[in-house]
Amino acid sequence: MIVLVINAGSSSVKFTCFDMAGGGKPLAGGLIERIGLDDTSMKYTNHKGDVLKSKVAVKDAQEAVKLISDKLVDPQHGVLKSLSEVKAIGHRVVHGGESVTDPVIIDEKVKAIIRDCFSIAPLHNPPNLIGIEACEAVFPGVANVGVFDTAFHATMPAHAYLYGLPYDLYTEHKIRRYGFHGTSHAYVSRQAAALLGAKPEDVKVIVCHLGNGGSISAVSGGKCQDTSMGLTPLEGLIMGTRCGDLDPAIVWNIMKIKGLDANGVDNYLNKKSGLLGLAGIGSSDLRDIEEAHNKGNQQCRQALETYAYRIKKYIGAYMAALGGLDCVAFTAGVGENSATMRELVLKGLDGLGLKLDKAKNDLRSSEPRFVNASDSPIKIAVIPTDEEQEIAGQTYALVK
């Protein structure tokens, strides 16, 4: 059974085509970027080793999905004989509010839920819905499944998701913590259990998803108990360009100091803060900041330490929340690739049972692996995330 996974953003559509009957093997995938602009480009790879990069004329998501469908059945580079082989399409959808706790077949009711969340996920939910409607047009009759970033966190107890605000803000306006990156947290926490040789039901795991965005979650018995992102992805860790946790009074202070309105301060905290703002070298990429630090830039050193310290604090907090811990797992761009950052985060945590093996930590690999010392009471893992695979698996499980 062929499952296509679509991740539609504001100006891009990412796709992977999986053969689920063949054990979830990816057959082809790629990305169409800068949709609607003069220099729209497409990258396409397949399991035969073809790598194609081309400039394309694509004005919207529907044209992008049509182009993807054409490529999948292309006589030379395609991987399918006919589009009728595609039995389901799994869509990454960022916000499902409170009502979506599992993957769902998308119908008009689900689309209304996605629309209801436009105001709290204005950058993500509208293009996600456009991607769904594009697939409905290009693949008529094929089941579209929504796999929501918020769904894995739906098991959080009320004491973890409520804010210290008047209760009617929750009951009437649904102001609460939801959490994001749920597909990655679900995948990595399950992989961590497998690496431990245990069932997800039997382990306590902290997942540090450190990418351009970053979030950390506390998972017990395969269920999320707490996570660092909140109503929106702005809360929690310091990220590439997002500030993470703040004293809320800073918001109106910034508005006064910088002369910003609500939209302006939203943009300031989401796009100009985090590592970008702290390091002050015009880049939010951890590689650039590590390089500047290695050349002696003190502000970059401070930015790295501040970023790491926030993660360390959350690990401590989540050990308390879980009442114990079997494994800390690092994933995503920074978590998988920066040995320096993992070392900085775990520095001084030996007393809590987290002992890193420096040599193992410094070894580069794309395989899930432990990097803890052999006598570390708690395991430390590096696990490459695979959100597409997880979306395909959840889609397949629902429709098969």
To which residue do tokens 């913590």 refer? 177
Cβ proximity to ligand AMP, 290 vs 326, nearer residue? 290
SS3 2: strand
Q: Which of 208, 332, 349, 356 binds ligand AMP (CB under 6 A)?
A: 332
Contact 96, 146 (CB under 8 A): yes
> Which of 38, 107, 149, 386 is an active site residue?
149
What order of strands is seen across the sheet that includes strand 51-55?
51-55, 41-46, 25-33, 13-19, 2-8, 86-93, 143-148, 104-105
Q: How far is the CB of 92 from ligand AMP (least distance, A)?
A: 14
SS3 381: strand
Q: Applying CB under 6 A, what is the total number of residues that bind ligand AMP?
A: 11
Q: How far is the CB of 330 from ligand AMP (least distance, A)?
A: 11
Q: Which of 55, 115, 173, 287 binds ligand AMP (CB under 6 A)?
A: 287
Per-residue binder mask for ligand AMP (CB under 6 A), 201-240, x = binder: ----------xx---------------------------x
Backbone angles phi, psi at 74, to 5 degrees: -60, 130
Q: Which of 74, 285, 305, 357 binds ligand AMP (CB under 6 A)?
A: 285
Q: Which of 20, 278, 286, 321 binds ligand AMP (CB under 6 A)?
A: 286
By the rule CB under 6 A, 337 interacts with ligand AMP: yes
Instruction: Indicate the helix (H) or strand (E) that contains 395.
Output: helix 387-399
Per-residue binder mask for ligand AMP (CB under 6 A), 157-196, x = binder: ----------------------------------------
List of residues 6+ apart from 280 with CB closer than 8 A: 299, 303
Residues counted in the chain? 400
Q: What tokens were used for 282?
A: 């015009």
Q: How far is the CB of 98 from ligand AMP (least distance, A)?
A: 27
Q: Of 60, 62, 31, nearest to 134 (Cα)?
A: 62
Residue 223 Cα to chain centre, angstroms: 17
Q: Which stretch binds ligand AMP (CB under 6 A): 24-32, 93-101, 281-289, 295-303?
A: 281-289
Q: Which stretch binds ligand AMP (CB under 6 A): 99-107, 172-180, 221-229, 326-334?
A: 326-334
Contact 186, 102 (CB under 8 A): no
Is 149 labeled as catalytic in the residue annotation?
A: yes
Q: Of 295, 374, 304, nearest to 338 (Cα)?
A: 304
By the rule CB under 6 A, 9 interacts with ligand AMP: no
Q: Which stretch binds ligand AMP (CB under 6 A): 8-16, 157-165, 264-272, 332-340?
A: 332-340
Residues acting as catalytic residues: 149
Binding site for ligand AMP (CB under 6 A): 211-212, 240, 285-287, 332-334, 337-338
